Amino acid sequence: MISFTFLRPKLLAGLSFFTSFTPSATSLVQKNILQGGLSRNKSSSTKKYKIKTNKGAAARWHKTKSGLFKHGAIGVNHGNSNWSNRILARTNRGGYALGKGEGNHIGRIKKLMPYA
């Protein structure tokens, strides 16, 4: 007797000319296939993967309540020993990510930090 458990449900429709292949056997084979008994990649089709957050972006950007992304002060960590107080005060402010019209930084940050 030939076993037809390896066939797909579309192929089972054309096998009605076999006398030993009864409708009850057809339903058993289809049930086995539908339950995933013969599926090789069963886990890959049902498993959802998490996306890793870019830690460099997470350290530099913080999401505000309004949905904007804010960054800290830039250019004040080192190399500014001869700068005037006016220049230091101007650089010692945070800022916000630019919108879609100016480079779409918000879209890039959302890709780097999907759970922010």
pLDDT digits (tens, 9 = 90+) for 7-43: 555 555 555 555 555 556 566 656 666 665 555 555 5
Q: Which single residue is written with the structure tokens 């830039």?
A: 74
Highest mean pLDDT among 51-60, 84-93, 94-103: 51-60
| Res. 52: pLDDT tops 60 | yes
Split at pLDDT 50, 70, 90, the class of 54 is: very high
DSSP state of 102: G
Per-residue confidence (pLDDT) for residue 6, from 0 to 100: 58
> CA 72 → CA 3, 97, 105, distances in Å?
68, 11, 15
- The torsion angle over the Cα atoms of residues 17, 18, 20 and 23, rounded to 10 degrees, is -50
Distance, CA of 49 to CA of 8 (rounded, Å)? 28
Per-residue confidence (pLDDT) for residue 51, from 0 to 100: 92
Percentage of the chain with pLDDT > 70? 59
Per-residue confidence (pLDDT) for residue 91, from 0 to 100: 81
More confident residue, 21 or 74: 74
CA angle 20, 22, 26 (to 5 degrees): 120
